[in-house]
Amino acid sequence: MSELLFADYVPKNLEPINSIGAKWLRLLAAMPLESVAGGKRVCVKMHLGGGTGFTTIHPFFTRKLIDRIKAAGASAVFIADSPGSVATAAERGYTAETVGCPLVSISGPDDRHVRLTPIQPPFGAFNEVEIGAEIVDAEALIDFSHIKGHGACGFGGASKNLSMGCVSQRSRGAIHALEGGLDWDRAKCSHCKICAENCENRAISFTEDGQFDVFYHNCKFCQHCVLICPEHAIRMLGGRYRDFQRGMALTTQAVLAGFKPENRYFINLLMNITIFCDCWGMTTPNLVPDIGILAGSDIVAIEQASLDLIREEKLFPGSLPAGWALGASGHLFEKIHGKDPYAVIAFLHELGLGERDYTVHTLD
């Protein structure tokens, strides 16, 4: 049974020493970072967000983590994310000065500095991914993740941060393609072009004769176009979200295979838990109150515990988009998105990446 550390967001009183910021420092002190990072070149994998979104991990938490890694004896430390997010990171307060270390694109500014890595076992035609060379070349990995909902896989956490955040745009598209494709109903379409204007990856366009066109090389199947279309003219074909989740688990395994178990660590922040992923480049209302921070060396256990802490009875009234209603059964995220978020955890466990049973040590 894996042991996790937990800092509860809610203070027992209003003394500053019991605030989440002070608890974060105590949590950092309790982490075994000397054995994880000591003498190593450490990659801290984060999602730095984009667009008008601002509910990614606050730079305060990031800076204190970097300071602690340095104090643990790391030979070098850097934060890594995809090229586009790194290029605009300063807009959300992430700079080398504020976080205390370089911000590095996982795959270079042109997304071409990658290492082709086999998927074992292959999942049909999905048999390889392009992992960013900066990830591959690191000696230790800190997976620093923001927990939130996700329309394609139910939720985004430690596994999504690695599987979708450590690979090239081409590989992200290949993983998302496991779900199916996009179907357009011309009769319903008003040609308002909201879908194209709001596609973060510029994958959607319309031909001169008004035909909907998807450049699948760029499409990451985030389904933003499906949800934003006012006429409901776009839908996802296949709906094979479990295939997507299995692809995420297999890619997570491929990323983690490059690090010794003792040189990888996972931190999940359960704050600003929104309905959609930070990759949408926008911020929406929080679904539930801030919960706290989990940390541990078992990715399966920390993902399981993160979901277990998010309770439907805590749902804020009015936090769902207009016209949305909860489904009949399952976790809160499943009632919202129609996908079982625990499925990816089951696949991670099946691959031998950790245990679903855990104990939690809550810091005072």
Q: What is the DSSP string of 252-311?
A: HHHHHTTS-GGGEEEEEEE-S-BSS-GGGS----BSS---EEEEES-HHHHHHHHHHH--
120-176 pLDDT, tens digit per residue, is 999 999 999 999 999 999 999 999 999 999 988 899 999 999 999 999 999 998 998
Instruction: Based on the fold, state whether residues 8 and 78 are members of the same structural domain.
Output: yes
Instruction: Please provide the average confidence, as pLDDT, over all residues in the chain.
Output: 94
Domain CATH for 206: 3.30.70.20
**Mean pLDDT over residues 232-259, rounded?**
91
280-294 pLDDT, tens digit per residue, is 889 999 999 999 999
- And the tokens for 4? 């996790």
Instruction: Based on the fold, state whether residues 109 and 220 are members of the same structural domain.
Output: no
Instruction: Based on the fold, state whether residues 114 and 225 are members of the same structural domain.
Output: no
- Of 236, 251, 276, the residue at which a domain comes to its end is 236
Instruction: Based on the fold, state whether residues 153 and 229 are members of the same structural domain.
Output: no
Instruction: Based on the fold, state whether residues 159 and 217 are members of the same structural domain.
Output: no
101 vs 74, 90, 97, 351, CA distance in Å? Answer: 12, 13, 7, 33
Instruction: Based on the fold, state whether residues 286 and 155 are members of the same structural domain.
Output: yes
pTM: 0.89
Domain CATH for 322: 3.40.50
Instruction: Based on the fold, state whether residues 171 and 258 are members of the same structural domain.
Output: yes
Give kind and range of the element (H or E) at residue 78. Answer: strand 76-81
Residue span of the structural domain in which 321 resides = 2-176+240-362
| Residues 182 and 219 sit within 8 Å (Cβ to Cβ) | yes
Q: Supply the pLDDT for residue 201.
A: 73
Instruction: Based on the fold, state whether residues 123 and 189 are members of the same structural domain.
Output: no
Instruction: Based on the fold, state whether residues 48 and 119 are members of the same structural domain.
Output: yes
Kindly tell me if the per-residue pLDDT of 218 is higher than 80: no
Distance CA 140, CA 138 (A): 6
Instruction: Based on the fold, state whether residues 8 and 130 are members of the same structural domain.
Output: yes
Looking at the structure of the chain, the number of domains it has is 2
Query: In 31-79, which ranges are continuous DSSP H helix?
Result: 33-37, 59-71
- Of 236, 261, 277, the residue at which a domain comes to its end is 236
> Higher confidence at residue 13 or residue 214?
13
Count CB atoms within 10 A of the CB of residue 116: 10
Instruction: Based on the fold, state whether residues 85 and 125 are members of the same structural domain.
Output: yes
Instruction: Based on the fold, state whether residues 309 and 186 are members of the same structural domain.
Output: no
138 vs 63, 97, 135, 254, CA distance in Å? Answer: 20, 22, 5, 14
